Chain A
Amino acid sequence: MTDGLKLGDRIFSSRLLLGTGKFSSTDAMIRAVRASGAELVTVALRRFHPGRPVDDVLAPLAAIEGLTLVPNTSGARDAGEAVRAARLGRELCGSPFVKLEIHPNPHHLLPDPIETFEAAKILVGEGFLVLPYMPADPVLARRLEEIGCAAVMPLGAAIGSGQGLTTMSMLKLIIRDASVPVIVDAGLRSPSEAALTMEIGGDAVLVNSAIAAAENPELMASAFAAAVRAGRDAWKAGLMPQSDAAAATSPLTAFLAGGEAG
């Protein structure tokens, strides 16, 4: 596979990862996953309640060929809870991946960098391919890379906020220095933001709310997929240099100054 997204020892052709939350129905979610072409989708954990039907997300997702589930640790408030959630997720999904997310404050849901780092160390040691949701902090990104995370996932803006790439300058620093894939996760609203992420050298984006909360999630999933491909191609093609002055694209000829002829 050319130009694959390499996470640990696994290579994926799609650079769009999808979250499965907040869709109006499981059917709408499945149609969006198919339209997105995503090969990695996140799922969450919840308590089983006797008498209450289990959300039937596992079976329809399993029916999509080539899909790898990434259980998240959402709800964990510290490293200990996140490690337990990751182990439970592995039992349920049979996947080596975990989206490590520890956000103790429900108001802003910003990730706790210290607990995330501590949990990542433990989970890497247990053989997980750890994808940590993290603040857009280049120093933390480097530290998470050094301890063996398979990627880093800095946020563009708060989860579900749709504020876009508010952390752009930090994302550029992270991308410049990272030697593991940089997956921008959270806050995106429009496909153009996904394209821009790829144009600046981001390796992938993880999108949930922007697709799930769209009027037509299936079409929006397709739009994000196209934007990610376009942005990736643009990055590979190399953007032209910028200049303060104009640079003509047509020959500047003198023959139009006809009055001076003769």
Chain B
Amino acid sequence: MDLVVNGESYRYNGQATIADLLRECQAEAGRTAVMVNGDVVRKSSFDSVSLSDGDRVELIVIAAGG
């Protein structure tokens, strides 16, 4: 499955939920917000939302800022 993760091409072998992708990227689910094709996915749905070929995924974390 070919995804676009944070603007870059990303190949995932097989099917994946958001939780699977976070694990493979070593992103902590508790500290990462996820947007798929422009829609924010609630944390409670990370295990149940499956990704599809061509999905654009954004993985977002908190940073310092004004």
Contacts and interface: CB of A to CB of B under 8 A. Distances in A.
Contacts of B65: 19-21, 42-45, 72, 74
Interface in A9-53: 19-23, 26, 29, 42-51
Nearest to A209: B66
A22 B66 CA distance: 8
A161 B34 CA distance: 33
A244 interface: no
Contacts of B35: 84, 88
Interface residues of B, number: 23
A93 interface: yes
A111 interface: no
Contact of B59 (A20, A22, A42, A47): A47
Given A43-B64, A159-B66, A58 B31 contact: yes
A71 interface: yes
Interface string A139-183: 000000000000000000001100000000000000000000000
A46 B59 CA distance: 8
Contact of A92 (B26, B33, B38, B64): B33
Contact of A46 (B31, B40, B61, B66): B61
A194 B6 CA distance: 39
B49 interface: no
Interface string B23-66: 00111100111010010101100000000000000111111111
B62 A208 contact: no
A13 B12 CA distance: 50
A124 interface: no
Given A84-B35, A91-B42, A92-B33, A48 B62 contact: no
A31 to B, nearest CB: 14
A71 B60 CA distance: 12
In this complex, which of B42, B43, B64, B66 has the most chain A Cβ atoms within 10 angstroms of its Cβ?
B66
Contacts of A6: none
A122 interface: no
B64 to A, nearest CB: 4
A91 B46 CA distance: 12
In this complex, which of B6, B35, B60, B65 has the most chain A Cβ atoms within 10 angstroms of its Cβ?
B65
Interface of B: 6-7, 25-28, 31-33, 35, 38, 40, 42-43, 58-66
